[in-house]
Structure 1
Amino acid sequence: MAQHYLVCGTEDCKRNCQFYCNPCHQRLCEGCRDEHQKSPDTKEHEVVTYKQRKPQLPEEKCNLHPKRNVEILCKECNVPLCAKCIFLKEHAGHQLDDLEEKYAEKVAFCRSEISKIQEYYLSTSQGLKKEIKEDVMEIKKTMDNIRNSIKAEAESLKELVDRVTSDKLEQANKIEETLLKTLNLQKKTYEDYTEYLEKLLKEFHRYKSITNFRVLFSEDFDKLKIQSIPETTQLVLPVFTAGQFYKDDVSKLLGSVNFPNTKPDNRRIKPMETASTQLKLTGKQTRRDVEKLDMKQTLSLSSSVTKVREYTVPGVDNVCHISLGKSGRLWGSDDSGNLVQIDLQGNQLQKIQTSGKYEGYHTVTQDGDLIYTDRKNKVINRIQQDNTITTIIKTGDWEPLSIHSSQINGDILVGMEKGVKAKVTRYNKTGKEIQNIQRDNKGQELYSHPHYITENINGDFCSSDCNKQVVVVVNNSGQHRFSYTGRGSGFWPYGICTDLLGHIIVCNSYAGNNSLHIIDQDGQFLSLLLSKQGILPCCVCVDDESHLNVGQLYTNTVTVYKYLQ
């Protein structure tokens, strides 16, 4: 709606008011201001912009002198006085202030406090309220994940119970088979003995009925002897000894839900600054604040990539996989099984021979140790920081291909294959098997050759499968979320990683179409990188500076790119 503008207070002047004379409490336009400051009577007056005006003291009559207005403040008594009151005995010698000046100070204070409330306290409290609302959603998501993990543990335990039950039933069947075989042999023994007795009985009847008694004294008759009844042993029957287990034992097997031994941070409250500057974030920030504010709000995909630096991995023929460790150290491997650790200066620190090839077969744990798959011996080994190598997991009949150590909870994800079958198995950090992922909700096989695997910030498992030419993503409960089959023609996925923004980055090593594909955590294509750089990307990882480290075929050089802005 239209509003009437503020007009000059000078008589017969209708121009727009822009200024204000504090002593006169007069509204002035620009022309009247100039005249006001030229007048001998008012040239010393304080003229300010209208917004900076001092409020006019409301008229209020003195209680003792009703015909006079109060205009003085007794500082010691803190009461308003008129000019006549200052001569009273009770205010004799007291310090006095201009009541209008003090009133202006109080009004200015009120305006300042109103501004603080409107610009800081309200917005900050509303922001904290919004943060709590987000925390509610995060708690629900976290608890859903915990419930799904409990169900997954229970399913794994049920599967284990079924396997053990099947083994014990098979054991009982074999015991029964052995006992029955023994009894059947004993039965045959007595059947043969009975047949022998019946034949002997016929012989005696025959000799008894013959007329020539001389035959009874012959050598053949003397040989007729009754053999002893064969002895057999009475079998000892097996007994079943019930296992001893209690609810607490099962509860321990299924894990527990508890709070980490971490003191909660206070909610971050923005510091209040002067009105001339904008509010900004200072002070201690939580890890989640850093990720959400510093990363998600400030970083985004760049329209192009910038080469930052290069380094080489001595001791390997090409770089098929990279694992970043602590203190800038990293591990690199090639298709000949060479696994090498280097420092920031590119110096080789150690080298071991493995059975690995074109796979993401090693990963650094939260503790800084390296774990790697031994496909030939079907085990998973750990290299501790003192270079001691120990076997932590045996995978039975399955050949372990790819591996990833979760930076969220320390779980170990392993891509495996057995003949034409393949799966992803999840172990906890101690090596206990807790989940197997093999089929989707329609019973279809998810994997054929999961040779690289990683985890996203939302807990999804992401694996590249070169046989099926697809990237398969499942949630941490093992439910299939989506499959990505590339963009355009020719998709041969190799190395795969994720970043702090939840992007999934995968190497496409298809001849003539080499590139990096970036998709979001829901499988939507976002960007194609390095498609015209003439490189042959085989592996990729994101370092602490959010730069891409890209390893290539046919060279031991790793190129580092900036891809976020």
Structure 2
Amino acid sequence: MDARTSAQDVIRCDLCETAVVQMHCDTCLVNLCKACVGEHISTNESKDHKVVKFQSRKSTPLYPECKHHNKQPCTMYCKQCDIPVCTKCLTSDQHLGHKLSEILQIVEDKKNKIIKDQTELKEKIYPTYQDIASDVQCRMSQLKTEYGDLSTAITKHGEDWHRKIDKLVKKLQAEVDEMKITQLQTLQKHLDEINKTMSDIKDEINSIEMAIDTNDLSKLLSVTSKVHRYRNLPLKLSLSFSKFIPEKIQEEKLSKLFGSLSLSSLTSDEHGYSMKTIQKSPEAGSSPPVKQLLDEPETVTTIDTGYRQLYNVACLNDEEIWTTGNNKTMKLYSINQGSLLKSITTTSGKWPSDIAVTKSGDLVYTDYKDRTVNIVKNDEKIEEVIRLQKWKPKGVCSTASGDLLVIMDIFDKPAKVVCYSSSTEKQTIQFDDNDKPLYSSGGSIRYITENKNLDICVSDREANAVVVVNQAGKLRFRYTGHTLSPKNKPFNPQGITTDSQCHILTADDNNDCVHIIDQDGQFLNYIECGLSYPYGLYTDTSDNLFVAQWGNRQVKKIKYMY
């Protein structure tokens, strides 16, 4: 990758290749520093160079060159021939009587059309696909609920009939188990046959390779290829599931009247979805305004915390932040005044692994040593929400739905993410679709956050990666750093947070910076601002970034978007 032109690095002058770009030649599409402007113009004086400030680049229209008259700019457009034309073309008989327009007007019309298309994609088509994805997720939840209700209905129906139908209930449940076992056996047999065929194919390949490599012609002549046996692929097995249909309770003919399981299916409907209608109403909810990254992020304020080692920060609101370090005390600070407002001690006397703030404004902290997740209510009463037996909690965050996401580890197994509603486990995320671990093993530092698009983002220090999965736990991407890091050291992710634009920000204490990537894992920029071993990260409602610095025990508030 060219470091001079990469969007992931400071842009350098195309001539001297060292100075930072300040100007731009719209004629030659060349980036320049001020010192090199004169040299660039003098190199080719035959051109009419349009040199503008770099921020105003591409403001000068570059007319297409005429294909028939060398280097003549085409300022007009022949609608009948559907081509750009220059002034010399207009004097010829070729376009005599044709309808002509200024090319700038044609371009403007074209631009308006593609902007309209872009608007449709952003405001109509993409939101429609978002709704479709949400609909599918709802159907998945509905499926789980329906099958749960189905199981409950069978059990309740059996309880209504008491001892008279206990035997029948067991009989039907045995039929379900038998169907499951039969289908599993069929699938296993099918798989065994496929594996056997694959083994035979490997043997056939090895046999051919040995014959090809030998100089014994009789062995080569004796080889008979069996490839025709394997061209006919095995049949694909399809599954269908039963459904229980209850009957009214009667005393006689119990075996027929109790009910049976019907077949279930999953079909597609080509005309099942309709395009989302664009609605623009002052009362209606709208997506957050589009913001741009600052070229040079700015430090707004710095807060001294007094910890010997500072680890975490969490915004209670836009005026107050919680902090934790290497002791049992959690401190609440005023952002504007930098003053200590409140201190709370953990129940166990151990320091917290991570902290977060819920939608209702309660502080949540994980206690790695005590294997607990705790909530500090507004009255400062600490409530133990989750107690683990073998696993130990690390990072924690509060989701948009009010649930808690906890990344936890154990010595000899891959780490996992667990979603809790209050103290009830709702979902576990640990392996990908190929049963490979999503996260590393052992007791390394791990932080977690939920993006605005409901992706689950984990900074896995042991793996030197940020691992992002969707709401269903499917792997979306892994970000392993950027080659042009400020100190050219290995990527070492610590704290992680997101903002209103779905950017993912992660601290890198090896390089004293914060990486900004988009929701699809593409690197956007670095935040340096004189950071010293950044650890915990948090963003407020205005997209200000708060960085807990292990190196100097300070929290920095940084403005990085406008």
The TM-score normalised by the length of structure 2 is 0.51
Q: Does 1:482 align with 2:477?
A: yes
Could you say what secondary structure the match of 1:396 adopts? Answer: coil
Q: In structure 2, do the counterparts of structure 1 residues 132 and 397 end up closer, same or farther at CA, with 3 Å as the change threshold?
A: same
C-alpha contact 2:317 2:540 (8 A) present in aligned 1: no
Could you say what secondary structure the match of 1:507 adopts? Answer: strand
Counterpart residue number, 2:182: none
Aligned partner letter, 2:368:
R
Distance 1:398 1:465 in 2: 17
Aligned partner letter, 1:551:
A
Aligned partner letter, 2:364:
I
C-alpha contact 2:509 2:532 (8 A) present in aligned 1: no
Distance 1:428 1:350 in 2: 27
Matches within 5 A, 1:290-439: 291=288, 295-296=289-290, 299-314=291-306, 316-326=307-317, 328-344=319-335, 345=337, 346-353=339-346, 359=353, 361-406=354-399, 408-439=400-431
1:527 to 525, 528, 550: 525
**TM-superposition CA deviations, 1:161-211 (whole Å, max 9, x none):** xxxxxxxxxxxxxxxxxxxxxxxxxxxxxxxxxxxxxxxxxxxxxxxxxxx
Counterpart residue number, 2:16: none
Counterpart residue number, 1:440: 432
Counterpart residue number, 1:501: 501
How well do the aligned residues superpose, as a CA RMSD in angstroms? 3.6
C-alpha contact 1:453 1:461 (8 A) present in aligned 2: yes
Counterpart residue number, 2:245: none
Counterpart residue number, 2:68: none
Q: CA deviation at 1:427?
A: 3.1
Distance 1:153 1:131 in 2: 32
C-alpha contact 1:336 1:356 (8 A) present in aligned 2: yes
Distance 1:440 1:355 in 2: 37
Q: In structure 2, do the counterparts of structure 1 residues 387 and 130 end up closer, same or farther at CA, with 3 Å as the change threshold?
A: closer
Distance 2:293 2:395 in 1: 28
Counterpart residue number, 2:280: 268
Q: CA deviation at 1:302?
A: 1.6
Distance 1:440 1:129 in 2: 31
Unaligned runs of 5+ in 1: 4-122, 159-265, 270-283
Q: In structure 2, do the counterparts of structure 1 residues 317 and 144 end up closer, same or farther at CA, with 3 Å as the change threshold?
A: farther
**TM-superposition CA deviations, 1:150-170 (whole Å, max 9, x none):** 578899999xxxxxxxxxxxx
Q: CA deviation at 1:357?
A: 5.6
Distance 1:325 1:157 in 2: 40
Q: In structure 2, do the counterparts of structure 1 residues 332 and 157 end up closer, same or farther at CA, with 3 Å as the change threshold?
A: farther
Q: In structure 2, do the counterparts of structure 1 residues 368 and 466 end up closer, same or farther at CA, with 3 Å as the change threshold?
A: same
Q: CA deviation at 1:398?
A: 0.8
**TM-superposition CA deviations, 1:58-87 (whole Å, max 9, x none):** xxxxxxxxxxxxxxxxxxxxxxxxxxxxxx
Could you say what secondary structure the match of 1:320 adopts? Answer: strand
**TM-superposition CA deviations, 1:370-390 (whole Å, max 9, x none):** 121122222211111011111
Q: Does 1:468 align with 2:463?
A: yes
Aligned partner letter, 1:391:
E
Aligned partner letter, 1:504:
I
Q: In structure 2, do the counterparts of structure 1 residues 326 and 518 end up closer, same or farther at CA, with 3 Å as the change threshold?
A: closer
Distance 2:446 2:286 in 1: 32
Could you say what secondary structure the match of 1:453 adopts? Answer: strand
Q: CA deviation at 1:425?
A: 3.4
Distance 2:393 2:148 in 1: 19
Q: In structure 2, do the counterparts of structure 1 residues 429 and 497 end up closer, same or farther at CA, with 3 Å as the change threshold?
A: same
Aligned partner letter, 1:456:
N
Q: In structure 2, do the counterparts of structure 1 residues 132 and 516 end up closer, same or farther at CA, with 3 Å as the change threshold?
A: closer
Q: CA deviation at 1:336?
A: 3.0
Counterpart residue number, 1:555: 552
Distance 2:438 2:123 in 1: 38
**TM-superposition CA deviations, 1:322-363 (whole Å, max 9, x none):** 11114622210013343212334322312214666684x211
Counterpart residue number, 1:53: none
C-alpha contact 2:415 2:439 (8 A) present in aligned 1: yes
Counterpart residue number, 1:219: none
Q: In structure 2, do the counterparts of structure 1 residues 364 and 155 end up closer, same or farther at CA, with 3 Å as the change threshold?
A: farther
Aligned partner letter, 1:415:
I
Distance 2:557 2:374 in 1: 29
2:129 to 118, 121, 137: 137
Matches within 5 A, 1:38-53: none
Aligned partner letter, 2:333:
I
Q: In structure 2, do the counterparts of structure 1 residues 137 and 487 end up closer, same or farther at CA, with 3 Å as the change threshold?
A: same
**TM-superposition CA deviations, 1:287-325 (whole Å, max 9, x none):** 424x1xxx22xx1112211121122335x3333111111
Q: In structure 2, do the counterparts of structure 1 residues 326 and 542 end up closer, same or farther at CA, with 3 Å as the change threshold?
A: closer
Distance 1:2 1:466 in 2: 61
**TM-superposition CA deviations, 1:461-499 (whole Å, max 9, x none):** 111111121111111111111111111241111011011
Q: CA deviation at 1:138?
A: 2.9
Q: In structure 2, do the counterparts of structure 1 residues 372 and 133 end up closer, same or farther at CA, with 3 Å as the change threshold?
A: same
Could you say what secondary structure the match of 1:303 adopts? Answer: strand
Q: In structure 2, do the counterparts of structure 1 residues 2 and 429 end up closer, same or farther at CA, with 3 Å as the change threshold?
A: closer
Q: In structure 2, do the counterparts of structure 1 residues 319 and 450 end up closer, same or farther at CA, with 3 Å as the change threshold?
A: closer
**TM-superposition CA deviations, 1:257-312 (whole Å, max 9, x none):** xxxxxxxxx9435xxxxxxxxxxxxxx454424x1xxx22xx11122111211223
2:536 to 529, 535, 539: 539
Distance 2:350 2:145 in 1: 30
Distance 2:124 2:407 in 1: 39
Q: CA deviation at 1:132?
A: 5.2
Distance 2:369 2:146 in 1: 32
Q: CA deviation at 1:391?
A: 1.2
Counterpart residue number, 1:94: none
Q: CA deviation at 1:141?
A: 2.4
C-alpha contact 1:340 1:350 (8 A) present in aligned 2: yes
C-alpha contact 1:456 1:502 (8 A) present in aligned 2: yes
Distance 2:317 2:149 in 1: 35
Distance 1:337 1:401 in 2: 16
Aligned partner letter, 1:268:
K
Aligned partner letter, 2:499:
D
C-alpha contact 1:422 1:450 (8 A) present in aligned 2: no
Q: In structure 2, do the counterparts of structure 1 residues 534 and 322 end up closer, same or farther at CA, with 3 Å as the change threshold?
A: closer
Larger displacement relative to structure 2 (456-465 or 325-334): 325-334
Could you say what secondary structure the match of 2:131 adopts? Answer: helix
Counterpart residue number, 2:14: none
C-alpha contact 1:358 1:451 (8 A) present in aligned 2: no
Q: CA deviation at 1:396?
A: 2.2
Structure (1 or 2) with the larger CA radius of gyration: 1
